[in-house]
Amino acid sequence: MSTPLEFLQSVFGYAVFREPQQEIIETVVDGGDALVLMPTGGGKSLCYQIPAIARKGCGIVISPLIALMLDQVKALRQVGIKASYLNSTLDADSAAEIEQSLISNDLDLLYIAPERLCQERTLSLLGRSNIALFAIDEAHCVSQWGHDFRADYLQLSILHQRFPKIPRIALTATADARTRKEIIERLDLGHAKQFIAGFDRPNIRYRITLKINAKQQLLRFLQDEHPNDAGIIYCLSRKKTEEIAFWLQQQGYKALPYHAGLNSEIRADHQSRFLHEDGIIIVATIAFGMGIDKPDVRFVAHLDMPKTIESYYQETGRAGRDGEPSDAWMAYGLQDIIKLRQMMASSNGSEQHKRVEQHRLNAMLGLCEITSCRRQTLLNYFGETQEQPCGNCDTCLEPVNTWDGTKAARMALSAAYRTGQRFGVSHLIDLLRGAETEKIRQFQHHQLPTYGVGRELEINQWRSVFRQLVARGYFSVDLEGFGALRLEEKCRPLLRGDTQVKLRQDNPRRKAKQQTKNVLPAEIDIALWEALRDCRRVLAEEQKVPPYVIFHDRTLQEMCLILPENLAEFGRINGVGERKLEKYGPVFLQAISTHFSTRAISEH
């Protein structure tokens, strides 16, 4: 029998395992249970795919992502693995056919939706079949805390009761310890070996920029850095996703909206175009993305701030699963904080729930406002330490200055206090800067001692002060929607002069050093690259699969660099296993040689 490494090379065409794939695979091949926590793009799928082909019988994969099963199955068939799926999209005849091939040992891998798996009918079918393993993908769906909770996942402990001898492997990219504990308890995985890979996504560049004119900032970001790339833009409201998508279309981008209010056909169409065409931008609410495993998403942009670091990390994590440089870009400002604080305060959860939410929002705000490395803060939040600043986030690339904001903060607090804590930021800034407005006269605020004491700071600087004071919880924002600022307990020592505050010096125009241009390696012949991409596109269209299912960009790039002349050389390229060598080697070799002969002719 082949070793896991031999399978990796011959089937998938990869030279070496990544950490800790090999150990996981060996554990499961030997019949042990495993709990795998690995970041998105870390290579979780191979951890159950290889044991499934190495062990006798069929590997059963439980996944909530019905929409993706077909593409996953197609990708596996491309490398010669006998894969299928059972879910509600199949008609009875096709389902019966698949069940039959399971019983007659004719499958390597079978994807099943959790609600179907838990039916007695399915369990008895499994009882009559030869099962290699159970893989429980997206295992965090058992967690009632997370927003991906699936009630059906709670029933999955039944697998252990019904099939105690069959190894189980649970996989997730969700990092926090509480979720991990829940997975172990609910899936009865107390004895499983745990594999916790680092959560860092080193190829993602984190940037959080101050929101001034979000649309123009977004446009500049796209023009300068991602003119033809696929990406996701997240907005808070459905209306805004449509508005932004439409506006981007007018600017010449292939942008499509996606939210839960669109009818399911449109949603499916937009998702499918995103997966199958090059360079589509999806403008979406959080309804989009769960399990989108398109590997070449080059950027994730946030036009509104997510409520928690967990969401931020999960959403930004959809960029760069293929390991190539990618951007997580966000524009954020005072309005985001006010909006989220209000949403949270007016939600009708329990007090304890609200406190937890408040705490998580504060952590998110902290991430936006820090002046040190963003990645260190992110990883730290998930309980991981990274000794050195990362060098691949905005604050590392262009360090942010701080200034002593104690005096300004006190002025701001006292302006709010002396006006009865009934006014919002704009009016307080007018007051501090001694503006002569209708409202100032109406409330006789020009007679207050704080009137005009803050002329030395400009409006933008004051906005920055207020934003940071709200973000850090010195001020709370009232519920009625007028955004009046109230002083919090935390202000006391500051007003008494017992503490100081250091504030971030905002500088929204920084950017030069931060651009990630996703340029091809300089040695690559662009015309050849385009020719190979065309070749891939034609093959993908013929088989109705996304282009990356044929070959990843990385594999095409290697072809351009190595310029293989025969099948043996072609077979050594990363991502070319035996099946793809046989199926696609001749076509791509032909494309390469055609490219050189036409070039030779045109040069003569």
- What does 44-76 look like in DSSP terms, one character per residue? -HHHHHHHHHHSSSEEEEE-S-HHHHHHHHHHH
As measured in angstroms, the least distance from the Cβ of 79 to ligand ADP is: 10
373 binds, among ligand ADP, Zn ion, none (CB under 5 to 8 A by kind): Zn ion
Q: Is the dihedral angle over the CA atoms 592, 594, 596, 599 positive or is it negative?
A: negative
> Which residue blocks in 347-405 are alpha helix, DSSP H?
351-369, 374-381, 394-397
Q: Least distance from C-beta 317 to Zn ion, angstroms?
A: 17
Interaction with Zn ion in 179-208: which residues (CB under 5 A)? none
- Residue 42 binds which of ligand ADP, Zn ion, none (CB < 5-8 A, kind-dependent): ligand ADP
- 18 contributes a contact to ligand ADP by CB under 6 A: yes
Q: Which residue is nearest to ligand ADP (CB)?
A: 43
With CB under 5 A, what is the number of residues at the site for Zn ion?
A: 6
Task: Choose the stretch contacting ligand ADP; rule: CB under 6 A; options: 37-45, 271-279, 480-488, 492-500.
Answer: 37-45
Residue 322 interacting partner from ligand ADP, Zn ion, none (CB closer than 5 to 8 Å by kind)? ligand ADP
Q: Does 23 bind ligand ADP (CB under 6 A)?
A: no
With CB under 5 to 8 Å by kind, the binding choice for 46 among Zn ion, ligand ADP, none is: ligand ADP
Binder to Zn ion among 170, 283, 367, 373 (CB under 5 A)?
373
Quick check: bond before 20 cis, omega within 30? yes
Q: Is 471 helix (H, G, I), strand (E, B) or coil?
A: helix
- The Cα diameter of the chain in Å comes to 89
Torsion of CA 31, 37, 39, 42, to 10 degrees: -20
Using CB under 5 A as the binding rule, whether residue 367 contacts Zn ion is answered as no
Beta bridge partners of 330: 208, 302
String marking each residue 301-330 x if it binds ligand ADP according to CB under 6 A: --------------------xx--------
Minimum distance from residue 552 beta carbon to ligand ADP (Å): 6
The piece of 13-21, 114-122, 205-213, 510-518 that touches ligand ADP (CB under 6 A) is: 13-21
- Interface region with ligand ADP, contact rule CB under 6 A, candidates 42-50, 234-242, 437-445, 582-590: 42-50
Using a 10 angstrom Cβ sphere, with 0-12 exposed, 13-18 middle and 19 or more buried, the burial of residue 130 is: middle
Q: Is 498 helix (H, G, I), strand (E, B) or coil?
A: coil
d(CA 247, CA 257): 11
The sheet carrying 168-172 orders its strands as 83-86, 109-112, 58-62, 131-136, 168-172, 34-37, 193-196
241 binds, among ligand ADP, Zn ion, none (CB under 5 to 8 A by kind): none
Which spans of this chain sit near ligand ADP (rule: CB under 6 A)? 14, 17-18, 21, 38, 40-46, 293, 295, 321-322, 552
Which spans of this chain sit near Zn ion (rule: CB under 5 A)? 373, 375, 389-390, 393, 396
